[in-house]
Amino acid sequence: MRRVYLGAIGALASLALAAPAGAQERVEPLNQYIVKGTDAELGSLAKRGFDVTEGADAPGRTGIVATPSEAEDLRDDGFDVTAVGKENRASVAAAAIPLADPTWGYDVFRPYALKPAPCQTTCSGAVDANGNPVNLMTYYDQLAAANPALVKREVYGQSLNGVDLVAYKVTRNAATTADGAKPGVLFNAAQHAREWISAEVVRRGYEYFLAHANDEASGIPAILEATEVWFVPVVNPDGYDYTFTTRAARLWRKNLRDNNNNGTIQSGDGIDTNRNFSEKWRYDNEGASDSQSSETYRGPSPESEPEVSSFHALVHRIKPEFFIDYHSYAKLVLYPVGWQVETYGADNALMVPLAGDDQHPAVQGYDPDVGGELYTTNGEITDTMYLQEGVLGYTVELDGGSGSPVGGTTTAGNSVGSNPSGFVFQDRESDVQDVFARNLPFMLDLAQSAPTPDQPTSHLGATAPDFTPSAFPIAYGSPQTVEVDVRRALGDVTVNWQIEGSSTVHQASTAEFEGGARYGGPGRYYHRVRGDVVGFAAGDKVKVWFTAGGKTSDSFTFTASPNAHNNRVLVLSAEDYTGLSPNASPFAGPQFLNTYTSALADAGIPADVYDVDANGRNHADLLGVLKHYQAVVWYTGLDDYVRDPGQTVGVSKMFDDQMNAIRDYVNEGGKVLALGQRALQSAWSEYAYNPLGRYPDKPQCRSNTSSTGPVGQLENCVNVSNDFLQYWMGAYSRANQATNEAAVSALTIAGQAPFTSSFKLTGQAYLPRFTPTSNSLPVANFPQFASRPTHVVSGSSNAVGVATADTLLWGFGLENIADAATRATVIREGLGYLGVDPYTQTTGSAAGTVPATLSLTLGAPATFGSFQPGASRTYTASTTANVISTAGDAALSITDPSTTSPGRLVNGTFALRLGVQAQATSPAGTSAGFASVSGSPRTLLTYGGPVANDSVALAFRQSIGDTDPLRTGTYGKTLTFTLSTTTP
């Protein structure tokens, strides 16, 4: 989990689960507290039911919301716990349904459906014609009645306790225009009950649009003519109203689900609606919890709560282009995705410019970033609406409370409020209006952008690019896959390339990249497409660019590496010998590389090498390097923290880039063995790096945390996340097994089936032990994280090696195994586990003669079945082929000989928008993966030697978008398969 320091006091937490309460039982109040301790101590708070994700305001301290007795329990366990402001210790009777109207009033803030108490001084906010306070539903209804041509009131469901869930559509001819007929934008508030400032920002937005409906200078009339602007005053009305009833409930977060069915609301009740949405629901226990006592309790099933399922149904029906889910109080502008760190969607090309950057944020003083940058979530609203509905959503975390008590936020005599801080925003009109005024320009940006979302309007002057190529400096093979994120409206994309020294420009078609096993699917307005660059030789420099719709992308140039030899395994050498960790000064070269290449050779597994240091300290990227290999052996030697020359704190951005490239590689089917006595230490320690670049080009972080940015730089540092280790490498945690060479050498390491070797380690000063992720996230509930030990300390169950289906992580290196034969066995077993069977490459002769033979026989024609209009789907079809080749090599390729819409299935003169893709696989050949069919031959399968009656599986896939036109009738295409050789 990555922790980002927010620079504000206060946070989320849970209520401890109390015993069932009767109607007369009293419950403790909630308060905000600051807890100090070590990272390990603060990390343990989550296991006790507290949500600490938003409250890490400085190193060694975090904010929580808790009851007084919970705070005392923490103190008894040695935590330093301090209340924020005056601690409320007065218990109250447990609330019953229906809720009683509040007895304490506010100048600005109002309940949703309950009757508000009188204002403390001067009323502002939601008032009636006489200036008296009214609840939010009444206020919205009053403005709707006063503007019948502009507002349509729509009840889209009922809350758990029967309160109407209401949305208000604001547009010209609102009542007579069908919902969703115009491009839309939606603003919603108060998913989390205590975040009152969010409800006021949305209310003021509703008021502003209606007040300026005829004000041409404001731009609102043009918006209302072309756009539907939807307002949802409160997503969670039951929980929100509950926070107005007593001071004890002011910091309640969830809805009012009575989890223990005792008829009252108390500790342990409620479900976090923003963890109950269906996307990645229950993906892991870091982003949400199965514990009813947790404030991020996800509920018993996805969208079990009517507040959630009804909202999703509304969005599915009206399909707005954009929406904002308002929260407090971290001052952030977040966009998808949030379920995993540093995961960017194709549509980020337009979402990022709208959100702005640290220098020029869309909301003054806020920090824009991808959702997982703050902390990972699952079952969350913006990911659900984006990934399932194609709606571009933002989470805006508004300002926290500060300053002196005012209005309803006073201490003396106040049965509800508390001092302004964190979630408690001050009851001052001018301060609330300031928050709204700073958020209004971003609201207007989205409303103005809705008619042309892929070419958005921004008050910052930002624009969305037509193309974003994925550049890389070096290519480790041919064909070389290249990729660009491109605006869909530009149509078919062509990849162009030119070899330095040649005047010839080569071209090829591209196909949409449909994403990997866990992430990376196409966007709504942008999509990533890929094509193959061929015809270059080692040492060539190749310039690449893309064209579509009469426009041209920026170009980039890669160099074809002479170190690529078409082997199946890559040794990724990451000793950091030119940096400063662990060595005090740079080394001339790697110390252990020969150990790995020799062990692989002894195992009969030839391998290529990518030495990070020798390649200018550039990481091995996905497209240029990693995708050319079936498996990667990523060894770190003695490396501790990856630091660039001269860097003394934190880690290099290069390490984070390498880790994410490996994650991308595994996501697309790659296999990885990472090993070394402190392998991936930078991630285990979650040290900080400068996101803008590496030292000395960019200043280093001032500490090993992200709380203090580099000198002279506005952007904060970023902590490396340990999520890759937990959720991709199968190691949930790490502890010390032995911390000196004598202790390590005294141990025997025993392989666990299918690993058989037992061995001693020499020259190793530290040995970690790992807790497999499945020990913490059981396979029965979290099968996606299935993991197990591969090696243990003999005589114990302490794992010093762990495995998932695609990865191995070992706490030792081959350089620490003294016997060459054992090294060969260990690496052979490791790669065998990952699906790389040992093989040898030899030459020989035999008596007699064999005639040159190439034979190719196809099975029955492949059939996709029926295509469904109006639905995004990828269809598949398959057939078989039989191959006989006596050649020294052979290649199976596919071509569309037709000049009519090459590569696309046709129905008469009508062709599908996207081309068909083909793949060939067999145990004897090397598959090139799915390739787009075109008028030029595309290699599907290669052989390194003769084959007899090789059974080849031919697979085809055809993607169809939900807006792609389809003509009634039968689609087809005659394709040519060619088996060829250069050495008959």
pLDDT tens sequence across 954-974: 999 998 988 889 999 999 999
Spell out the residues 6+ positions from residue 627 whose beta carbon is closer than 8 angstroms to its own. Answer: 481, 665, 668, 670
Average pLDDT over residues 130-146: 98
What's the confidence (pLDDT) of residue 432? 98
Which distant-in-sequence residues (6+ apart) come within 8 Å of 214 by Cβ?
221
Residue 800: strand, helix, or coil: strand
For residue 151, CA distances in Å to 147, 310, 446, 588 come to 6, 20, 19, 72
Confidence at residue 847, expressed as pLDDT on a 0 to 100 scale: 66
Three-state SS string over 765-830 comes to: CCEEEEEEHHHHCCCCCCHHHCCEEEEEECCCCCEEEEECCCEEEECCCHHHCCCHHHHHHHHHHH
Taking the C-alpha atoms of residue 223 and residue 227, their distance in angstroms, rounded to an integer, is 5
Structure tokens at 128: 């009636």
Integer Cα distance of 167 and 157 in angstroms: 10
**What would the mean pLDDT of 12-27 be, rounded to a whole number?**
45
| Predicted local distance difference test score (pLDDT) of residue 17 | 31
Write out the two tokens for 368. Answer: 């824009």
CA dihedral 243, 246, 248, 252 (to 10 degrees): -10
Say how far apart CA 367 and CA 883 lie, in whole Å: 58
**Positive or negative: CA dihedral 793, 794, 796, 799:** positive
Residues 431-449: what's their mean pLDDT? Answer: 98
Q: Which comes out higher in pLDDT, residue 888 or 489?
A: 489
**Would you state the pLDDT for residue 56?**
46
Whole-number Å distance between alpha carbons of 417 and 399: 18
Is the pLDDT confidence value at 179 over 60? yes
pLDDT band at 458 (very low <50, low <70, confident <90, very high): very high
Contact by Cβ (8 Å): 955, 921 = yes
The Cα angle at residue 453 between residues 447 and 458, in degrees rounded to 5: 60
Calpha distance 89→86 (Å, rounded) = 9
Take residue 223 and report the two structure tokens written for it.
């918006």
Average pLDDT estimate for 183-201 = 98
Q: How confident is the model at residue 591 (pLDDT cuts 50, 70, 90)?
A: very high
Query: 600-635: per-residue pLDDT in tens?
Result: 999 999 999 999 999 999 999 999 999 999 999 999
What's the gap between Cα 445 and its chain centre?
25
- On whether the CB atoms of residues 31 and 88 are closer than 8 A, the answer is yes
Q: In the predicted model, what is the mean pLDDT of residues 186-214?
A: 98
What pLDDT score was predicted for residue 49? 64
The radius of gyration of the chain's CA atoms, rounded to the nearest angstrom, is 31
The larger pLDDT score, comparing residue 20 to residue 363, is at 363
Q: What is the mean pLDDT of the chain?
A: 91
With 0-12 / 13-18 / 19 or more C-beta atoms within 10 angstroms meaning exposed / middle / buried, residue 162 is exposed
Q: 125 versus 706: which is more confidently predicted?
A: 125
Q: How big is the CA angle at 532 (ends 530 and 538), to the nearest 5 degrees? A: 135
Which pLDDT value is given to residue 198? 98
pLDDT at 16 over 60: no
pLDDT at 21: 38
CA angle 887/892/894 to nearest 5° reads 150
> Per-residue pLDDT for 535 more than 90?
yes
549-559: b or e for each residue (b if 16 or more CB lie within 10 Å)?
Answer: eeeebeeeebb
- Is the pLDDT score of 414 beyond 90? no
| pLDDT over 80 (residue 915) | yes
Cβ distance 418 to 88 under 8 Å? yes
CB contact at 8 A, 67 and 16: yes
User: 440 Cβ partners below 8 Å, 6+ apart?
Assistant: 205, 208
Nearest-angstrom CA–CA distance, 813 and 815:
5
* CA gap 224, 245 in Å, rounded: 37
Please state the rounded mean pLDDT for residues 109-124.
97
* Residue of 2 and 810 predicted with greater confidence: 810
Of 628, 347, 336, give the one whose Cα is nearest residue 472: 628
Q: What angle do CA 538, 474, 532 make, to 5 degrees?
A: 80
On the question of pLDDT at 761 being above 90, the answer is: yes
Q: What band does 41 get if pLDDT is binned at 50, 70 and 90?
A: confident
CA distances from 704 to 372, 687, 707, 882 (A): 20, 5, 9, 59
* E strand intervals along 50-91: 61-66, 80-83
**What is the per-residue pLDDT across 700-734, written as a single tens digit (0 to 9) for each?**
998 887 767 788 888 889 999 999 999 999 999 99
Quote the pLDDT of residue 12.
Answer: 32
Phi, psi of 64 (to 5 degrees): -140, 165
For the segment 304-333, the average pLDDT, to the nearest whole number, is: 97
CA distance 632 to 233: 52
- Which pLDDT score is estimated for 602? 96
Average pLDDT, integer, range 771-789: 96
Question: Which of 782, 778, 801, 806 lies closest to 791, judged by CA?
Answer: 801
CA distance 640 to 678: 6
Residue 843: pLDDT band with limits 50, 70, 90: very low
**So what's the pLDDT on residue 36?**
86
β-strand partners of 530: 483, 511
SS3 723: helix
Taking the alpha carbons of 596, 598, 603, 609 in that order, is the dihedral positive or negative?
positive
What per-residue confidence (pLDDT) applies to 8?
A: 36
For the segment 206-235, the average pLDDT, to the nearest whole number, is 98
168 sits in which H/E element: strand 164-170
Phi, psi angles (nearest 5°) of residue 526: -125, 155
Across 280-294, average pLDDT: 92
Q: Which DSSP string do the residues of 504-518 spell out, in sequence order?
A: PPEEEE-EE----SS
Taking the C-alpha atoms of 331, 335, 340 and 346 in order, what is their torsion angle to the nearest 10 degrees? -160
User: How far is 730 from 680, CA to CA, in rounded Å?
Assistant: 13
DSSP state of 133: B
Helix, strand, or coil (residue 212): coil
Q: How many CB atoms lie within 10 A of CB 96?
A: 12
Q: What is the band of 20 on the pLDDT scale with cuts at 50, 70, 90?
A: very low
Place of tokens 């307005």: 525
Confidence of residue 449 (pLDDT cuts 50, 70, 90): very high
Looking at the DSSP assignment, which residues form a beta bridge with residue 33? Answer: 64, 83
Query: Which pLDDT score, from 0 to 100, does residue 235 have?
Result: 98
Residues whose CB falls within 8 Å of the CB of residue 548, separated by 6 or more in sequence, listed in order: 466, 467, 486, 490, 491, 492, 493, 494
Q: CA 21 → CA 65, 266, 725, distances in Å? A: 21, 8, 42
Q: With H, G, I as helix, E, B as strand and everything else as coil, classify residue 888.
A: coil
Sign of the torsion formed by the C-alpha atoms of 62, 64, 70 and 71: positive
- Predicted TM-score (pTM) of the model is 0.83
For position 412, what pLDDT does the model report? 59
Q: Confidence band (pLDDT; 50, 70, 90) for 4?
A: very low
What's phi and psi for 226, nearest 5 deg?
-105, -10
Q: What is the per-residue pLDDT for 427?
A: 96
Q: Is 180 left (phi over 0), alpha (psi -120 to 50) or beta?
A: left
pLDDT of residue 584: 77
Tokens of 806: 């695609």
pLDDT value, residue 929: 85
* DSSP secondary structure string for all residues of 318-384: H--SEEEEEEESS-EEEES--SSTT---TTHHHHHHHHB-SSSBSSTT-EEEEGGGT---SS-HHHH
Which SS3 state, helix, strand or coil, does residue 790 take?
A: strand
Reported as a pLDDT band with limits 50, 70 and 90, residue 87 is confident
Q: Which of 507-511, 580-584, 674-678 has the weakest average pLDDT?
A: 580-584
Instruction: Tokens for 759, please give them.
Output: 């061995």
256/95 Cα distance (integer angstroms): 10
Side chain identity at 817, as an amino acid letter? I
What is the per-residue pLDDT for 277? 98
Q: Phi first, then psi: give them for residue 81, nearest 5 degrees.
A: -120, 125
Q: Report the pLDDT averaged over residues 486-508.
A: 97
72 Cβ partners below 8 Å, 6+ apart? none
Which token pair is 679?
Answer: 């392998």
Intra-chain end-to-end CA distance of the chain, in Å: 56
Mean pLDDT score, 51-57: 54
Q: Which two tokens stand for residue 22?
A: 């009767």
Is residue 141 pLDDT above 50, yes or no? yes
In the structure encoding, which two tokens stand for residue 345, read together? 């969607």
Contact call for residues 574 and 640 (beta carbons, < 8 A): no
The residue behind tokens 């995705």 is 337
Report the share of the chain in percent with pLDDT over 70.
Answer: 94
- Over residues 87-111, the mean pLDDT reads 92
